[in-house]
Structure 1
Amino acid sequence: MNQTTRIDLSEGDSNLSVNRTGWTDKLNPATRELLKRDAAVFLHQSLSTPCINVLETCSGSYLTDISGRKFLDFHGNSVHQVGFSNPDVTAAITRQIEELSFCTRRYTNIKAIELAETLTSLASGNLSKVLFAPGATSSIGMALKLARAATGRHKTISMWDSFHGASLDAISIGGESLFRKNMGPLLPGTEHVPPPEPYRCLFNDSGDCGQCNLKCAGYIDYVLEKEQDVAAVIAEPIRCTYITPPPPGFWESVRRSCDRYGTLLIFDETAVCMGRTGTMFAFENYNTIPDMVVIGKGLGGGIMPISALIANADLDIAPDKALGHYTHEKSPVACAAALATIEYIQTHDLLNKSRTLGKQALKRLRDLKSRYRIIGDVRGQGLMFGIELVKDHQTKTPACTAADKVMYQCLELGLSFKVSKGNFLTLTPPLTISEKELEHAFNILDQALSDI
């Protein structure tokens, strides 16, 4: 068994692969020395430390390392919807720091109120109550607590292969072994179901979702009926790592099942909010309004950490409980960044751009698929898309070694992206990307696939 197959690749590309070692060996001495210092003081963990490179600047669609090499970034940890170092966002942050840099608990501030009002005006239905937190994992925790308070139940249904954060409560509902394995007792009552995944469907080998009458959604209904006391179904409306849009009608069916059994529906849009899918909220693509939605990452413009729980007003039923109560929950600086981010998205029509360029991207990916048999599937929505590499189209055996090689070859050529589940090349450019930059990225990818 080679090294790649021994490493857990459920969430992202490993920092322990043979190709990583080869990449590091080619870096200049100054970079290697800084990476050595970094590795000496940070706890080592999968996916990150030891790190891949040392950055000096980031701007627009590009990262620049300390040796001056530039990389088109189609990774961005899903925070760069308005590009890196967006001047409107940085200006808003600078102004706010000079006016009110911090807001202690028990007080509020104008920017926090304005952001809450803006988010609820953008959300659908009765999603009109908000709580903020410094990170989305914390907002997931608030959503779980509110679901318990509102229903008097504690059980949840979530999906295998999902990611909701790295804290113990978040990995309890998450479905990736990288975070759960050997972690001891997790939250009780956290049931898991298979995700809707047409290319690798457990219920229908043909991959034709029209043939099985949405058995994936029917399974959730089955579990809800058997359990009878589930507080919430919590899921990503579209999986952001190995990007998989749900089959038509899936979420509408789950919504009906939740209503039937008195179960809340919570969407985790941490990585896909703020226009990534071509709409401000991803759930707008699926004709389904959740009872709660969690957003984060790109909300702070790629600079300030901030997340939000947006809930149905009918769930404002816990005035005697501390659902969050975080020190920086109403950070005026983070709220100013979020307001500037939303305004930039709207002013520059980035939602339409995400849809338009996303269609162009899928067309280009399908062209690559027609020319490279190693590509088993291409999929995406808006400006999040990617390709699944397989050894054989019939068995769909993941081509993990090839995917790792392609990623490092692309890095050599100036394109950065993430590999998910070992064999899916996940491409998430900023919504500000130009058509020329997008074309350049695909040319690099084409060359790397040809080389491999």
Structure 2
Amino acid sequence: MANKVFKNELIIEGDINQSTARQYWLKNEVSIEAKNLLEKDAQYFMHQALSTPCLDVLANARGTIMTNVSGKKYFDFHGNNVHQLGFSHPKLIEALKNQLDGLTFSTRRYTNETAINFAEKLISLTPGLDKILMTPNGSSAVGIALKLARAVTGKYKVLSFWDSFHGASLDVVSVSGESVFRENMGPMMPGVERIPPPITYRGIYEGNEDKALEYLEYVLSKDNQIGAFLAETVRNTDAQIPSKKFWQAARKLCDRYGVLLILDEIPIALGRTGKLFAYEHYDIIPDILCLGKGLGGGIIPQAAIVTKRQYDRFNHISLGHYTFEKSPMGAAAGLATLQILEDENILQHVAQMEKKMLNNLKNLQNEFPIIGDVRGIGLLWGVELVNDPVFKEEAVQEAEAIMYECLKNGLSFKVSKGNVLQLCPALTIDTKQLEEALTILKNAFQKVTKS
């Protein structure tokens, strides 16, 4: 049954939200109360790819678990990448309540102590990067980074990777490499060059990063109007992890050709990879670092760029100028998030959970030949499904079927690139919870692949 419903259906970046499998889910796995609310949701909210129709209606989220209006619980292995601390961390809520009793908004041209304390704390954690601008969301952070790079270099072109995702605003979509977000949106912002990423599996280079570096150098050497190289340090959507050799060589190439390296760590910073920032794995320092998502603790939308003091020379240019630029509430959330990560030794916990995740997923790969690749770092993992291990034919139908089987049994994650199960739990997940969630995943493989 599960394999039949996907035949000839359109494949896009995530799970197939308009498929007959989604229709079956909504008809048979959602309560009457949720159905009524979902109908209202569809009535009032704009519809868009990857987001509608919604899967279910949530009533609560605490720690690693979401609860729907009927009381069903899901382990959230998606979380929109904001759940580094889990949901509704009590210390974070306390910090926000305290801030609500004081200053809740900071008018432009005025600063506030909470924002200053947040900036001081963040900069103490990013040696070599010592100036910040706060923004309300990740797309805005990338937009500021692009403007700053133009101001610093005097060059208007941007280099990025195909298949990359950096945000949904029109300027950022223009420089990203994920085609689904550019459909029907042209003309795009000019001056963008793209190169294939150094993918470790099922890509143009097949893990040969030397060829990827040759291509990168060729493009930089041929176009002296490229002022910025925008990239995800680690690709979030399907968990692609470049080597230290790649990033150290890329850093040197940017220096050689006068190009600013902008690293987008909006979904992967703050412990997701086992380090506070992913670039720390590579012993490099970017010129501009973009942060967001979990920076607000999963409660307050908050993002920022962090950059070098030498680039702070454009007080005549409005690089950001956002209404909530020095939001006391956002700053309180960011400061509390950084403090909780430190006080609760979450990075050390991630290192322990990484080993358990690796062992479990490798055992799963040994048991189920449909798993062509398992890759990950920290608590960001991708399980790539293929029907033919030689030609790496994408097992899209099976990936979708496994996702819905897991949803039925209380495990939520997203499917990326059509056939990659992206597993991204809260960093606070404990051993028992992780084992329970991975048991649900294993049972889904058994049911789908042996039916």
TM-score band w.r.t. shorter chain: over 0.9
* Partner residue, 1:277: 273
Separation (CA, whole Å) in 2 of partners of 1:369 and 1:325:
49
* Secondary structure at the counterpart of residue 115 of structure 2: helix
Where does residue 196 of structure 1 map in the other structure? 198
Using the TM superposition, give the Cα deviation of residue 386 of structure 1 relative to its aligned residue in structure 2, in angstroms: 2.2
Task: Give the C-alpha shift of residue 52 in structure 1.
Answer: 0.8
Q: Which residue of 2 aligns with 1:344?
A: 340
DSSP 3-state at the match of 1:172: helix
Specify the alignment match of 2:122 in structure 1.
119
- State the number of aligned residues: 444
Superposed, which structure 2 residues align to 1:361-440 within 5 Å? 361-440=357-436
Q: TM-score, normalised by structure 2?
A: 0.96
Inter-partner Cα distance in structure 2 for 1:15 and 1:7: 10
Where 1:387 maps in the other structure, the secondary structure is strand
Deviations 1:329-352 (A, max 9, x none): 111011111111111110111011
State the partner residue of 1:314: 310
Displacement of 1:2: 7.6
Provide the rounded CA distance (Å) in 2 between the counterparts of 1:31 and 1:76. Answer: 20
Judging changes above 3 Å, is the alpha-carbon distance between structure 1 residues 8 and 148 closer, same or farther for their aligned structure 2 residues?
A: farther
Identify the match of residue 164 of structure 2 among 146, 162, 165. 162
Equivalent residue for 2:136, pick from 131, 134, 137: 134
Structure 1, unaligned runs of 5 or more: none
Tell whether the 8 Å contact from 1:133 to 1:326 is kept in structure 2 after alignment: yes
Q: CA deviation at 1:49?
A: 2.1
Aligned residue in 2 for 1:176: 178
Rounded to whole Å, the distance in 2 between the matches of 1:170 and 1:30 is 38
Q: 8 Å contact 1:198–1:247 — kept in the other structure?
A: no
Please name the residue that 1:65 is paired with: 68
Describe the superposition over 1:354-396 as per-residue Cα deviations: whole angstroms up to 9, x where unpaired.
1221122011101100000110000000011120001110011
Q: Does 1:442 align with 2:438?
A: yes
**Residue 83, structure 1, aligned to residue 79, structure 2:** no
Q: CA deviation at 1:201?
A: 3.3
The equivalent position to 1:40 in structure 2, one of 31, 38, 43, is 43
The residue aligned with 2:100 is 97
Select the residue among 290, 293, 296 that pairs with 1:300. Answer: 296
1:143 matched to which residue of 2?
A: 145
AA aligned opposite 1:299: L
In the other structure, the counterpart of 2:286 is 290
Mapped partners of 1:201, 1:217: distance in 2: 15
Does the 8 Å CA contact 2:159/2:230 hold for their aligned counterparts? yes
Q: Indicate the residue corresponding to 2:230 in structure 1.
A: 234
**Match for residue 256 of structure 1 among 240, 252, 265:** 252
Contact 2:6-2:397 at 8 Å conserved across structures? no
Q: Distance in 1 between matches of 2:286 and 2:71?
A: 45
Q: Which runs of 4+ in 1 moved over 4 A?
A: 1-6
Q: 1:199 aligns to what SS in structure 2?
A: coil
- CA distance in 1 between counterparts of 2:7 and 2:162 reads 22
Q: Distance in 2 between matches of 1:74 and 1:253?
A: 33
Give 1:203 deviation, angstroms.
2.9
Amino acid at match of 2:408: E
Distance 1:110 1:4, change over 3 A: farther
One-letter identity of the residue aligned with 1:389: L
In the aligned structure 2, how far is the partner of 1:141 from the partner of 1:215? 30
Q: Secondary structure at the match of 1:51?
A: coil
Structure 2 vs 1, CA of residues 376 and 396 (structure 1 numbering), >3 Å: closer, same or farther? same
- In structure 2, the residue corresponding to 1:200 is in which secondary structure? coil
Shift of 1:228: 1.8
Aligned to 2:32: 29
Query: How high is the sequence identity, in percent, across the aligned residues?
Result: 48
1:205-216 superposed matches below 5 A: 207=207, 209=208, 214-216=210-212
- Taking the aligned partners of 1:198 and 1:383, their CA distance within structure 2 comes to 18
Structure 1 position 248, deviation (Å): 3.5
Distance 2:11 2:126 in 1: 37
Contact 1:155 1:231 in 2 (8 A): yes
For residues 36 and 243 of structure 2, the distance between their equivalents in structure 1, rounded to whole angstroms, comes to 48
Q: Write the distance in 2 (CA, Å) between the matches of 1:203 and 1:425.
A: 22
Comparing 407-416 with 350-359, greater Cα deviation is found at: 350-359
State the AA in 1 paired with 2:79: G
The alpha-carbon distance between structure 1 residues 302 and 184, as it changes in their structure 2 partners (threshold 3 A), is: same
Q: Tell me which residue corresponds to 1:359.
A: 355
- The answer to whether the Cα contact below 8 Å between 1:419 and 1:425 also exists between their aligned partners in 2 is yes
Moved more, 438-447 or 22-31: 22-31
User: What's the C-alpha RMSD, in Å, of the aligned pairs?
Assistant: 1.3
Once residues 152 and 4 of structure 1 are traced to their aligned partners in structure 2, the CA distance between those partners, rounded to angstroms, is 51
CA-CA distance at 1:6 after TM superposition: 4.3
Question: Aligned equivalents of 1:98 and 1:13: distance in 2?
Answer: 42
Q: Deviations along 1:27-79, whole A, 9 cap, x unmatched?
A: 11111111011001111111112211100000000000000000011110000
1:313 maps to a residue whose letter is: R
| Alignment of 1:333 onto 2:329 | yes
Residues 331 and 283 from structure 1, CA distance in 2 versus in 1: closer, same or farther, beyond 3 angstroms? same
Q: Would you say the 8 A contact 1:146–1:323 is kept in 2?
A: yes
